[in-house]
Structure formats: C-alpha cells, structure tokens
Structure 1
Amino acid sequence: MPRHQPGNSLRAARELYLEVTNDPSARPLVVASWQRSIEYEVKSGSLNAPYLDNPNLDSPLARAALPILDTLHEQLADDPVSTMITDRNGVVLSRKVSHEGLTTHLNRVRLAPGHVFSERYVGTNGIGTALASGRPVVIAGRQHYVEDLREFHCAAVPILHPTRRTLLGAFNLTSIRQGSDGMLMAFARSVAAQIEAEIEAITSRRERALFQDYMEACSSARPGPVLALNRDVVMMNEQLSTAVTGPDHHALLDHAREMADHPRLEGTRSIPLPSGRVAELRISRCRREDSDAGAVFRVRLIGRAQSTPALSVPPVRSGLGLVGSAPHWLRAVADSETAFVAGTWLHLLGEAGVGKRTLVEALHRAHGAGRRLQTREAPLSDSPAVTECWLHDIGELLAERSDVLLLSDVHLLGDQLRQRLTDLLLRRDGGATAQVVLTSQPSMVGADDELDRLCGASVEVPALRHRYGDTEQLARFFLRKYRPSGESRFSGDALTVLRRCPWPENVRQLESVIRGLARQRSGRMIQAQDLPPECRVSSNKVLTTIEALERDAILRGLMDHNSNVQRTAQDLGISRATMYRKMRRYGIVPSSLT
C-alpha cells in the first residue's frame, strides 16, 4: 500500500470498500476497481476531475461518434439520460443531454467535455472502470468510489479499433433515474456497436481511397517502385519490396511517414538510405475523403548499395577528420568538399545542431590555403541601424577575394533583409569576391528561393536520427574527447538508450550529454540509469530552454517516484491531467523510464 495516506477520506473509503466487497452481489470487476482506486490514493470525499484544454475532436473515434450522438440526442429528447464519448484516457470529448435537471447534476460533478474521468483521478466510475478493465460495465449508486458520483447510474462500453483492436475510448450512458441497469447496458452496447461500425466504415473508406490511388500508380504505363501509407496501412508493390530490404526498408518508411505527416508537403524529395543509395520520393496526396486519407509515393532508387561497417568498430573519420560512417553523411561531406575545392558558392541545409558549421570549419582547415574564414550570424534586430551596419559589413567582406564568408542561419532573416542580401550578392557575384557559404534549415527554404539559387551547390546535411549507426560512434568519440584518460565506457543498455533517442537537437545535443557524463562519472562504466532524462523521450520536437527544464523536471520526478504520475504531479504542483498532457507533448514514454 502507499506510504502516505490521506487520512479520514481514505479510512472512509476503506470502510465502504469492505461493505462493497462483503456484498454478495458485488462483482469482481467492481471490487478490483475499488482496490485500484485506493492504490491511486483517490479521495472519496472530494471530486478531482482535471480539465484538459482543447480535447481532440479530429480523431477517428470523434468523427464516427459525433453524428451518432446527434441522432440519439433527438431520439432521447426530454429523457433524463446523457450520452457521451471519451478518449482512451478518460477525457470526455462530447456530451449530449436534453433534460435540464440532469444537466445541472452533471455540471455539478464536472462530467462535461474536457474533464478527465479515468480511475486514476476519480476512482471507480463507469467511464474509468470500462477503460481500465477493457470490459462493458455498469456502475450504480454506492459502487462509485467518490461520494459526489453516487447519485448516478452509468453504463459504459469500451470502443476498440475495428482492425487493430486497440482501445480508442468509451461510450457512456448516465442517468439519475432508478431503473433497469440491464436496459442501460443493452442500450450502451448497441450504441457502441454502431460507433465501432462507423469507425470501420470510415477506416475502410480511407483505406479504399488510398488503395485506389495506389493501384492507379501501380497500373500506370511505367509504374516503377510504389509506396502508399497512412497511419494504419502500408502498401508497396513487388518492385519496391524486393529492391529495398533491411535497414533501407525501415529508413524509407521513416522518411515517408515524416513526409506524409506534413499535409502541405508536395513534390519530390531525395532520401539517403543506410546502404549508400538514394531514394527519390515523389509524393501525391490521397484526398478522396473529407480528410487526408494518406499519401502515395513513386520511388526511384539511385546508386548501388555499399557495405555498411559494423556498429562495434571505432569511430570512422572522413578525410576531413569528421566522425561518422553513414553513407548519406559521407556523401554530404564529399559533395560539400567537391564544391568547396572548386570555389563554388555552397548552401548547406540541415536541422539545427547537425554539424553544418563544423563541416565548413573542417573544409576550411583542409582546403583553406591560407584564406580567412569569416563568419557572420543573422542580425538580432530588425532596426534600420543594425541591418544597415550588417549589410555594409557583408559588402566589405565580399570584396576580400581571399576570404571564405560563412553566412550562418540565413533562414532567420526577415523577408526585406533577405531580399536586400540577395541583391547585394547578385551585384557582387563574380570572380572578385569571397567564396560564400550559406547555412539554413531545410524547412525554411522554398523551391523558388532566390538566395538559394545564387549558390552553385546545395547540400543537405542529414539529421542524426537518420545517420544509422553514427550515434554510437559519436558517443564514443565525445567520451574520449572529454575524458581522454579512457577510464569510462558505455554499457550495452546505455548505448541502446542513446541509439533510441531521436536527438531533436542532433549532434550538438549528443555532445552536450556526453560532456556532462564525462564530468560527472569517472573510473566506471556508464549505465543506462546514468543518462540524463532527455535521452528517454520519443519526440523530435526541439524545445526552448524553459521547455527543456520542464521536461527534465517531469522525467526526474517520474524516475524518483517509480513512474507514479500522481506523486510526481503533486511534487511539481500541477494537476495530473496537465502532467499527462505535458508527457504527451514532450514524448515521455513511461516504459522508457525503467
């Protein structure tokens, strides 16, 4: 049992628990729910149903259920019965009730859209117990754990995905009228079955629409390799499935899903694969349904597969002394080196922290031939005085033919300043100028970007999460760099955690983590539990400083409390609903904490 008991409320709950368990009619499902409620330390004397802002009404469950609830609302006019659906976390998504008296009762206990009615928060209740047990349930009167809910009779039925059979949410009927619980349950089962049937119909329509587009792509005159996918389905023709296997297969799907998740992304993108080949993906959206039904990709494979070095080998360095052996990383380095040696203006694209500046510095060391490397950041202010001074400085540096001018993070320039810089470079373009290297983030550069077209070569530096195998090599390299004595090394579990982390801030973040470990740990093996909380998330989202501090505080609290969300939320002074929302936002997966 928990060490900290809330006192009188818990004692009263235990007394009523004994009464419930001694009742011959008490069902094992209800008894088990009460046991969980006590373990969660839910207070039976007060209701705590946290509120979530903006519940997701764009889910398959909501899209299927809302029209059905509207129809039921008309059929049940003036009946003291409320119909509602919740998501799998117990968040009420929608509530329909036409009886004014029942509306007042429901509002008093906050059984309304946005509020969370999982067992963890309000103990035994129809919604929470159906979700926790995965079974239809009627919770009536004193079977409710919290006193304020004991006037209600609730019948709730879990709603499952029609093909995956995963839990999507629940349908709930609530009444204050004494009557047949069997009738309530029969009605609830019937409505839940309608909702599941509609989800299946929507899913089937979306899949049929995607399949139709996929078949059209496969049956064209020269189909080539074809891939189609959405959140539920992956389809590929035989040409693609035989041509792309192993790590290339997983990498291709990872990139395709990232592209499909951006509904505005169109056109063609080249994707480097672990084998050294390049997959050119041309995306077409499937929009036969009301919402995006998925995407179809025509795939063109370029190059030949290369042998990939084993993960256990020492860090591999290119001719420039840069660590990493992923083929698309080596290709980016080689393409950049070719352009730099030729004196071509170069545009390096890549997410923050991938090593764009490190690459330029390595190119300059190897091939600078006495030239100075001048680096200028985007100005921090848009004031005329600052921008005029910045442009004047750029103009003077351009006049120095012996210089290499690195303009860093040009995606941060405002439209007006970007155009003025473009005009300046156009006037200076020619033999009597410095060699210009630009860096920016790929999502910030459009296909018609004039500044990008000034460069004779454009190279995308891959994100660390796509450099398969390089995470371990870089981690070992940084550990030797910051602990040259070689006293520390990584355990297998630690390396597994490092490889699984998506590293939203890329190599910069990995180096920071290893530097911190090297300063704190010496003379012994670094275990998985020694790694900081940021290594245990699944989100690619780049966080602000405040967000990172908040994420780490949540992770440390969860680890200190053995993944107990309630105690961690109490320590942090936030509600459990807020805690869950932040966990989803930061990609915190409870299973990764142990």
Structure 2
Amino acid sequence: MYRTSRETHVGQARPEIASSWTRSRLNGLRADDTPGLKQESVAGAGGLTRAAGPVLERVRAELDDTPFAFVLADRTARVVDIRCADKAFGGALVDLGIVPGVRLGEDQVGTNAVGTPVETRKGLFVRGDEHFMAAFHEFACYGHPIIHPITRRLEGVVNIGGRAGDEHRLFSPLVRRVVRDIEDRLQLDASGAQRRLLAAFQAAARSPRRPVLVVGRGLVLATPAALDLLEPADHAAVQACAEGMRGEGEVTHRLTLVSGRTVWLRCAPVDGVEGALVDIVPEQPGRRGTRGAGTATGWPLLVVGEPGSGRTTEARRAVGPGSITLDATDVVRHGEQAWVSNLVALLEKDGPAVVIEDIQLLSEQVTLLLARCLRGTRRMTVMTTTPGGHLDGVHASLAALCGARRDLVPLRRRRHEIPGLAQRMLADATGPGHRRLTPDSLRVLAAQPWPGNLAELHRVIQIVARTRSAGDIIASDLPASHRGVPAPVSPFRQAEREIIVAAIEAAGGNKLQAARALGMSRSTLYNRMRALRIH
C-alpha cells in the first residue's frame, strides 16, 4: 500500500499527490523500483542556465553550510545544475544518482518535486514518503516551474531539497523568490530578440488563413492555418529548415509533408535577431522542385558526394535496373591488372550501363586508361566519387569528360529533410503505422552532425527499430552517441566551420595546404579548428 506518512493511507493523500501516484503507476513504475537514472548531455539549456546561474549562486551563498541543495532542471525534467554547500548532503544526492544530465520525469522516477511540477506546471511540496519511489523517502523537496514571461512557455523547474522529517516551511517562499528572479532575467535576456520575433509574427499573421510560422531560439509561433497543415514530424522539419539558414538572406526549400502533400517553405530572416519567418506555400499541380539535378543531358555522368550520402543509389537511379558495377576498392583485392582488364572488356563492347564506384581511389595510370576507354565507349556510364581537390588534379581528365554532374548535398545541410527521412526509414524497418518517432526525438536527430550522412542515419534507425519493440520512440531511446543536442552556434560560426572543413577536404587532409588556400597561418588554422571543434 502506498502511504504519504506512517499513519496516512493512500485514500487520504493530498489530491495532487494521489494524481501523481496514479500517473506513476500508469507509467509502469513500482514503489520499490531502483531509480534508473542515466546521465546524458546537458547542452541546449544555455538561456535557462545563463539566467539562473547568478541567482542560484547568490542563494547558495546565503544558505552556506546549510544541509540543502538547489536543483535546476529544464523543461524535460533533465537536471542541468546543482548547487549545494553541504558536502554530506551533496554526497547523498550523488549516491542516489542525482547529477547534471539525469532526467527526473514522472515517467522515470514517479512523483517528485522536479518531474511533477513539469507535468502540472504548478509548485509542489513533496514530503519524504510522498515520493512515489522508496529510494527518495529520505528527502523533502519543493519544486516550482519557471515560466517564460514573454512566451509563457515552461522553461524548467527550480527545486530545493533537504532531509525528510522537518516541514521546511521556508522552502516555498524561498523558491518562489528564486523563480521570480530567474524569470526577470529571462525577460531581460529575451526582451529584445523575442519581442522582435513576436512583432514579426503578429505582422505576418494578420490574415488567419496564411500558413506562417516564426522560428527563433526557444520560440516557435504558428498560425492556425499552419497547424492544420503540419504533423509533428513536419514541425521538426520546418524548424530544422529555419535553423539551417546561414545569413544568406531568403531561402526556399521544397518539402513533402507526412500527409504526402508537397509545399514550399520560404524562409526569410527576421531583422536584428537569430530567427526566421517561414511561409508555407502549397505546391501547385504541374510545378516541379528545383533541388537536385534533373536527368543527365549527356554521358558519362559524374555523381559527387561524401561517404554515406547516397552516391550508389543516385547512380543506379540514373541508369535504371540491370546495370553492371565496378568498384575501385576491388583493385586492392584483385590487383590493378585484373581490374583494368575487366574494365576494358566491359567498355569495348555494347551492353547494359556501367557504374564505376569510388574513382578517387584510382591511380594516375588507371585514370588515364579509363579516360581513353570512356571516349570510345557507347555504353551509358556513371562514375561516383568523393568531393575534393583530386577532381582538379589526378582525376581532372575524368571530370572533364562527363556530360553531366550531380553533387549530392550532405545531410547536415539538409536538416529539414531528416525528420521525413527518419520516419520513412523506420516505416521500412518496422512496417507502416507500427511505431513513430516523437517530435522531440526528431528534433534531436535533426541536430546531429551526421558525418556518415544517409548511411549513418539508416544505421541509427535500424538500431532503434531493434531495441524498441513497441510504443513511440522518444529521445532517450536513441543510441547514446546520437542522443545529445549540440549547443547552438551562430550562423557566422557555422559558415566558418563549413568553409574550413571544405578547404581541408579539398587539400586531401593537408592542413598546411588548407591554411594557404584560406590565407592564414597553420597555427591560426589549428586554433580555429579547436574553437570550432573540427577534428
């Protein structure tokens, strides 16, 4: 039997506690469960921690040497900061697993003064055995939600905890004062940027029939017409599209919604703030998309893309079924002479199309021979390669022969497509309609760097499909390597990072050549690489 104290039965529990216990049981939790706390990345709560840090430090100093701890959690009940001056009490929290990066949601640990205020958006005092799990019975805590004063969005929770046994009557007024100070700092921090975003939205939303959104850091506003068009996965795609702008002015993307309808997203920057106004324009019948290349106007065709970006798929799509594939990686296994003999035999006679994979691995001699064969062959031929300076050097003769070229955009520059791609890959792995990725998990996926492109995304979805057999897939179900959300960077720093990465790739990994091409010293290049986390 669940009890609120040694004498009180569950039927006499406070209504807010009884309701929380019911939700905890519906989540499949038991009172005698061991809290399954897993530490994750705490990146992504910058605005909250920036506003709360000085306030929490001030109040910690005021309560110096008292056996209390302040816990700051974000809107998902994930702990992002802990302030505790008493080593013994701080050690008790660590022993229980309460450290930055763990989630204390009701769905994970039941009734508590972090997860329950997140659930109800109301302050709550939880005495010792009012906690759902017995592991928390030695604590008494009060938690209060932090509501953004402009957006009215839940930003997080401040919790103060101490040993059970005392009423701690000052907990509630003290935490309310702390929350009020944090909300004041949030308003000061966001008053300029978010007011401009709000003004831009109000100006665009004068017509209720106009499907339009404003997307900014920590703020998404949408008209009813936009909400009618978009499913949860579509919201993640639109947000990724808007956040992917890099200061080049208005951009347009073509997007196929979950419903199957195709729309155009016109993303325009909002003056003076990191944010975008997104107009959703349904595609008219007969209008065609502009992304990617159309049918090649000549042969051979060159397909250029990073590893995992879908070069093979694009090459086979171009020539249709029945093609023959030669892979330059087989030179190592079969030897150069045998590989060249097979190549010459194929291209000297008529037959189905030929796909030659990974030409960046061919030596200069084989490259010259292949170029001569291509000049005389009547077969449709497609070559695939990675981008880089080799196309202007060793393999320039092959690139010059091609009648058409298709450059595949890396997945990190197509973030708005990731939610739809992930859902389709999941449907292929589990069957349509069986499982779905939640909006939060799609947002996390869209934020990953994806150095392995589509192949890496497919591998992650396969892992999720095998490990989660039923129910919605939430962010914590993703592999640990793809669960954290990188801290947001400015459009300028993102553009700088991509320029440096491209220069290094073009130089074949030679940092000195890349530095010369960028007009900087090698030491400056290394400093910028460290600052931008380029490995």
**TM-score of the two chains, using structure 1 as the length reference:** 0.55
Q: CA deviation at 1:99?
A: 1.3
Q: Quick check: 1:328 aligned with 2:289?
A: yes
> 1: CA distance between counterparts of 2:481 and 2:6?
32
User: Which residue of structure 2 aligns with residue 476 of structure 1?
Assistant: none
Residue identity matched to 1:438: M
- 296 and 230 in structure 1: CA distance in 2 versus 1, 3 angstrom threshold: same
Q: Is the aligned partner of 1:230 residue 2:219? A: no
SS, match of residue 39 in structure 2: coil
Alpha-carbon separation, structure 2, partners of 1:118 and 1:254: 23
Give deviations 1:399-441, integer Å, cap 9, x for gaps.
648678644664xx7xx6278599648964984456642356x
Pick one of 327, 347, 350 that aligns with 1:377: 327
Gaps of 5+ in 2: 202-212, 223-227, 257-261, 411-417, 447-453, 486-535
1:417 paired residue number = 361
Q: Give the aligned partner of residue 569 of structure 1.
A: none
Q: Does 1:457 align with 2:399?
A: no
Aligned to 2:67: 80
The residue number in structure 2 matching 1:469 is none
Matched, 1:144 2:131: yes
| Map of 1:502 onto structure 2 | 420
For the residues of structure 1 that align with 2:145 and 2:19, how far apart are their CA atoms?
A: 17
Are 2:113 and 1:126 aligned? yes
Asked if structure 1 preserves the Cα contact closer than 8 Å seen for 2:79 and 2:99, the reply is yes
In 2, the alpha carbon distance for the partners of 1:207 and 1:424 equals 59
Aligned to 2:502: none
- 1:307-332 deviations in whole A, cap 9, x for unaligned? 34xxxxxxxxxxxxxxxxx7238x96
Partner of 2:285: 307
CA distance in 2: counterparts of 1:144 and 1:114, whole angstroms: 21
What residue identity is the alignment partner of 1:54? Answer: S
Partners of 1:70 and 1:449 lie apart in 2 by: 56
Further displaced range: 102-111 or 450-459: 450-459
Residue 124 of structure 1 aligns to a residue whose secondary structure is coil
**Separation in 2 of the partners of 1:283 and 1:391?**
52
Determine the C-alpha separation between the residues in 1 that align with 2:368 and 2:423. Answer: 32
The residue correspondences of 1:310-389 to structure 2 (distance < 5 A) are: 327-328=288-289, 335-337=294-296, 339-340=297-298, 343=299, 345-347=301-303, 352=310, 356-362=314-320, 374-379=324-329, 383=332, 388=336
Q: CA 1:426–1:262 in structure 2 vs 1: closer, same or farther (change >3 Å)?
A: farther
Distance 1:234 1:84, change over 3 A: closer
Contact residue 47 and residue 186 of structure 2 kept, 8 A: yes
Distance 1:251 1:36 in 2: 26
Check conservation: 1:73, 1:98, Cα contact below 8 A: yes
Is 1:19 aligned with 2:5?
Answer: no
State the partner residue of 1:551: 464
3-state DSSP class of the match of 1:158? strand
Residues 407 and 437, structure 1, Cα contact 8 Å, conserved in 2: yes
Alignment of 1:70-469 (within 5 A): 70-176=57-163, 181-207=168-194, 229-231=215-217, 257-262=239-244, 271=253, 293-294=274-275, 307-308=285-286, 327-328=288-289, 335-337=294-296, 339-340=297-298, 343=299, 345-347=301-303, 352=310, 356-362=314-320, 374-379=324-329, 383=332, 388=336, 392=340, 396=344, 400=348, 406-407=354-355, 410=358, 417=361, 420=364, 424=368, 428=372, 431-432=375-376, 436-439=381-384, 445=387, 450=392, 454=400, 455-459=402-406
Identity score, percent: 20
Q: 1:376 is aligned with what amino acid?
A: L
C-alpha displacement of 1:156: 0.5
Distance in 2, Cα, partners of 1:203 & 1:533: 37
Whether the 8 Å CA contact 2:435–2:470 is kept in 1: the answer is no
Determine helix, strand or coil for the equivalent of 2:170.
helix
Determine the C-alpha separation between the residues in 1 that align with 2:137 and 2:382: 70
**Runs of 5+ in structure 1 lacking a partner?**
1-10, 215-226, 237-245, 309-325, 366-372, 464-499, 518-527, 566-575, 588-594
Which one has more relative contact order, counting CA pairs under 8 Å at least 6 apart? 2
**Amino acid aligned to 2:156:** G
Residue 392 of structure 1: how far off its partner (Å): 3.2
| Residue pair 2:43, 2:484 contacting (<8 A) in 1 also | no
The 1:253/1:396 distance shift into structure 2, 3 A limit, reads: farther
CA deviation after TM superposition for structure 1 residue 96, in Å: 1.0
Secondary structure, aligned partner of 1:116: coil
Query: Number of residues paired by the alignment?
Result: 439
Q: Classify 1:206/1:78 alpha carbon distance in 2 versus 1 (closer, same or farther; 3 Å).
A: same
> C-alpha distance in 1, partners of 2:194/2:264?
25
Deviation at 1:85, TM superposition (A): 0.8
Higher radius of gyration, 1 or 2: 1
Partner of 1:573: none
TM-aligned CA deviation for residue 336 of structure 1: 1.3
Deviation of the 1:46 alpha carbon: 5.4
Contact 2:71 2:82 in 1 (8 A): yes
Question: What is the one-letter code of the residue matched to 1:379?
Answer: T
SS in 2 for 1:51: coil
Equivalent pair of 2:29/2:109 in contact (CA under 8 Å)? yes
Cα displacement (A) at 1:55: 3.1
Deviation at 1:137, TM superposition (A): 1.0
Q: Quick check: 1:42–1:122 contact (8 Å CA) kept in 2? A: yes
Structure 1 pair 191/346, CA: closer, same or farther in 2 (3 Å)? same
Q: Is the Cα–Cα contact under 8 Å of residues 234 and 419 in structure 2 kept in the other structure? A: no
Given that 1:155 and 1:185 are in contact with CA atoms closer than 8 Å, whether structure 2 keeps it comes out as yes
Give the corresponding residue for 2:492. Answer: none
Partner amino acid for 1:172? N
* Whole-angstrom CA distance in 1 between matches of 2:437 and 2:270: 34
TM-score (norm 2): 0.60
